[in-house]
Chains A and B, each alone.
Chain A
């Protein structure tokens, strides 16, 4: 990685994580500078979500270091971890909206429960954030189950940015959406990140999305970053893994784990 640890908002070194005998992350190094939009690409099951969950503290790695603003976070005690969480926002792949709460309560959840804000101002903030992602106040009292997939994604995006976090993680933000809705979500991510100046880490295998939202792209394969560079350079990376991935070829150094039926 080119950035030094001191300059990096997020600095990951030698990260290892296994599930049983399967080693998912194998000494991974990654940096993300403050205000940068970094997209991690890679095939399904290569550990992209595991990487983000390790940084967020939802999974504990076996080895390695994760520094946020230069502070080691892997073995943080619970109270310090809860404080650190206030720097983060997360858009989950399946939106992960709370079924039992209305749309505005979902968006305001982090403000009310996480930061102790009163419900009235939190509701006003939630409505403003919903407007920012193109949703009107008429849906604010609906339950998530009453919304389409695209609307759920937008509500989840509003929730992720509601508390104006310093770092937002986007896990497969466009998966399962039609191309037009995917582009709407991409535009919203770019707008939110640029307007607030947030550091963004996205994981996706949607290259259209990656090209649109990334300042820099890193490719994950077999538990390590095999290439990273500015978005504009991805087409001339000269890296056989990246070339195979962006051209969607079955032949190449990336061998999919396919078991004969």
Chain B
């Protein structure tokens, strides 16, 4: 019994110490934002990496998500003659939940992994020590631009994903299910509120920060050569994905839980 409790205690202590390390790492990186120098070129580079190069995969995911959502909701709602709600369900689901979550998960897979691999390789090949030896703070130069780029770029990406997702629903609604185009667009507008979009964008900013933080954190503390970098990449994607789902619930509860 004691051994069992000790094992639970050890897991709990491990979790708390890992959380503490992560918070200290994020705090130290963010603290560098309050004093110069600022690396705007690095922020721009990361924004292009996260935003522009993720557009194809996010766009494809969003359009198929909207299409499937329209089909499924039509199948379900037709059982109690509520097919007219399809457009509303599509737009609310995409803007509130699916847009941010699917985009966050896609970016976690594409960008979070790449960040962990790049920073991890820099760690195991002494490039991070080289930065320090050249009077450059690695947190300021490598981590902060990625955190800011994630924070800024993901809402833009999610806004685009929202539009593409709703358009996917429209395509299926009009060309497959036979809705009147004007009526579908009217229904889409009718029940959509500003807060539906804003809550999705806030989620996106949080998810962008999480993806960048996990990628940087696991890369920064990777060790042991190629195997360590591979492990860091896996940890970055898995932890970012889990945290995205957890924070999605928490933010949804905060906005719509009343």
Seen from chain A, the residues whose Cβ lies within 8 Å of a Cβ on chain B are 53, 56-58, 78, 82-83, 85-86, 88-90, 92-94, 96-100, 109-110, 113-116, 159
Seen from chain B, the residues whose Cβ lies within 8 Å of a Cβ on chain A are 37, 39, 118, 121-122, 125-127, 129-130, 132-137, 141
Asked if A89 meets B126 with Cβ closer than 8 Å, knowing A113-B37, A113-B141, A116-B37, the reply is no
Flag if B136 contacts A109 (CB, 8 Å): yes
Partner of A113, one of B118, B121, B129, B134: B134
Nearest to A106 among chain B residues (CB) is: B130
Partner of B135, one of A58, A86, A93: A86
Flag if B134 contacts A94 (CB, 8 Å): no
In the assembled complex, how far is the CB of residue B184 from the closest CB belonging to chain A, in whole angstroms?
47
Asked if A85 meets B135 with Cβ closer than 8 Å, knowing A113-B141, A116-B37, the reply is yes
In the bound complex, residues from chain A placing their C-beta under 8 Å from that of B122 are 98-99
In the assembled complex, how far is the CB of residue A223 from the closest CB belonging to chain B, in whole angstroms?
21
* Residue picked from B121, B134, B141, most chain A C-beta under 10 Å: B134
A96 vs B134: C-alpha distance in the bound complex, in angstroms?
Answer: 12
In the bound complex, residues from chain B placing their C-beta under 8 Å from that of A93 are 126
A56 vs B133: C-alpha distance in the bound complex, in angstroms?
Answer: 7
Nearest to A79 among chain B residues (CB) is: B35
In the bound complex, residues from chain B placing their C-beta under 8 Å from that of A86 are 135
- Jot down 28 A-B pairs with beta carbons below 8 A, ordered by A: A56-B129, A58-B129, A78-B137, A82-B135, A82-B137, A85-B133, A85-B134, A88-B133, A92-B126, A93-B126, A94-B126, A96-B126, A96-B130, A97-B127, A98-B122, A99-B122, A99-B127, A109-B136, A110-B134, A110-B135, A113-B37, A113-B39, A113-B134, A113-B135, A113-B136, A114-B136, A115-B135, A159-B134
Flag if A89 contacts B130 (CB, 8 Å): no
Flag if B134 contacts A114 (CB, 8 Å): yes
Flag if B129 contacts A96 (CB, 8 Å): yes
Flag if B125 contacts A96 (CB, 8 Å): yes
In the bound complex, residues from chain A placing their C-beta under 8 Å from that of B135 are 82-83, 85-86, 110, 113-115
A90 vs B39: C-alpha distance in the bound complex, in angstroms?
Answer: 23
In the bound complex, residues from chain B placing their C-beta under 8 Å from that of A97 are 127, 130
Nearest to B135 among chain A residues (CB) is: A114
A56 vs B128: C-alpha distance in the bound complex, in angstroms?
Answer: 13
Nearest to B130 among chain A residues (CB) is: A96
Flag if B130 contacts A53 (CB, 8 Å): no
In the assembled complex, how far is the CB of residue A162 from the closest CB belonging to chain B, in whole angstroms?
9
Flag if B129 contacts A53 (CB, 8 Å): yes
> Contacts A83-B135, A92-B126, A93-B126 given; 7 further ones with Cβ under 8 A?
A56-B129, A57-B132, A96-B125, A109-B134, A110-B136, A113-B134, A114-B135
Partner of A92, one of B130, B136, B137, B141: B130
A-B complex: 5 closest residue pairs judged by Cβ atoms: A114-B135, A110-B134, A96-B126, A96-B130, A90-B133
Partner of A85, one of B37, B39, B132: B132
* Residue picked from B122, B133, B141, most chain A C-beta under 10 Å: B133
A57 vs B133: C-alpha distance in the bound complex, in angstroms?
Answer: 9
In the assembled complex, how far is the CB of residue A120 from the closest CB belonging to chain B, in whole angstroms?
15
* Residue picked from B121, B130, B137, B141, most chain A C-beta under 10 Å: B130
Asked if A90 meets B137 with Cβ closer than 8 Å, knowing A96-B125, A113-B37, the reply is no
Nearest to B118 among chain A residues (CB) is: A100
Flag if B133 contacts A89 (CB, 8 Å): yes
Nearest to B137 among chain A residues (CB) is: A82
A97 vs B130: C-alpha distance in the bound complex, in angstroms?
Answer: 8
Nearest to A82 among chain B residues (CB) is: B135
Nearest to A98 among chain B residues (CB) is: B127
Asked if A90 meets B141 with Cβ closer than 8 Å, knowing A82-B135, A115-B135, the reply is no
* Residue picked from A82, A89, A110, A113, most chain B C-beta under 10 Å: A113
In the bound complex, residues from chain A placing their C-beta under 8 Å from that of B130 are 90, 92, 96-98
A88 vs B37: C-alpha distance in the bound complex, in angstroms?
Answer: 20
A78 vs B32: C-alpha distance in the bound complex, in angstroms?
Answer: 11
Nearest to A85 among chain B residues (CB) is: B135
* Residue picked from B37, B39, B121, B136, most chain A C-beta under 10 Å: B136
Partner of B127, one of A53, A57, A96, A116: A96
A58 vs B134: C-alpha distance in the bound complex, in angstroms?
Answer: 12
A58 vs B129: C-alpha distance in the bound complex, in angstroms?
Answer: 7
Nearest to A162 among chain B residues (CB) is: B134
In the bound complex, residues from chain A placing their C-beta under 8 Å from that of B37 are 113, 116
